[in-house]
Amino acid sequence: MRQFVKFGIVGASGFVVNLIVFTGLQRVIPHHDQPEQYYAIYSVAFLSGGVSNYYLNRVWTFRSTGHAFREGSKFLTVSALALTVGLIVSALVSPFLGHGHKTWFIATLAGIVVNFFLNKYWTFKHVS
C-alpha cells in the first residue's frame, strides 16, 4: 500500500509535468485541435511526464538499485503501452468531448493502472 501511495504522488507530479507540457504545446502549435496535432502533442506531453516518473519511481517509490538501463527500457516499454491505451481512449472519447483538456484528462487516467501494475510487477519486480 505504501508503494501505491508513493506511486500516486510520483504519478501526480508526472501528471503536472504532462499537463504543463500539453498546455504549453497547445499554445504554440497551430491547429492543435486537429487530430494529428493533438495526438502528437498528447504523446510528447505524456512521455515528458513519463521521464520524470521513471526517475522518481526508481529512486523513491521502489528504491531500486537494479540495472538502470534495463529498468529504463522496461519503463519506456510500459510507458509506450500506457501511451497506446491513452491514444485509444482519446480516439474513443474525442468525438464526444473534442481534442482538449477533458479528453486529455480521461486518456491520461486510463494509463495510470496500466503503469502501476506493469511497473510494479515487471519493471521493478526484483524490489521487495
Mean pLDDT of 114-123: 85
What pLDDT was estimated at residue 32?
76
Over residues 73-102, the pLDDT tens digits come to 998 899 889 889 988 998 999 899 888 889
**In this model, does residue 62 exceed pLDDT 80?**
yes
Write down the mean pLDDT value for the chain: 87
CB 7 within 8 A of CB 22: no
For the entire predicted model, the pTM comes to 0.70
What crossing angle do the helices spanning 2-28 and 101-118 adopt, rounded to 10°?
150
Determine the Cα–Cα distance for residues 102 and 97; give it in Å rounded to an integer.
7
**In this model, does residue 17 exceed pLDDT 90?**
yes
Mean pLDDT of 4-23: 90
Over residues 42-61, the pLDDT tens digits come to 889 988 998 888 889 899 98
DSSP 120: I
Instruction: Label residue 3 exposed, middle or buried (CB < 10 Å: 0-12, 13-18, 19+).
Output: middle
Determine the Cα–Cα distance for residues 18 and 31; give it in Å rounded to an integer.
20
The 10 Å CB-count burial string (b at 16+, else e) for 89-127 is: bbeebbeeeebeeebbebbbebbbebbbebbbeebbeee
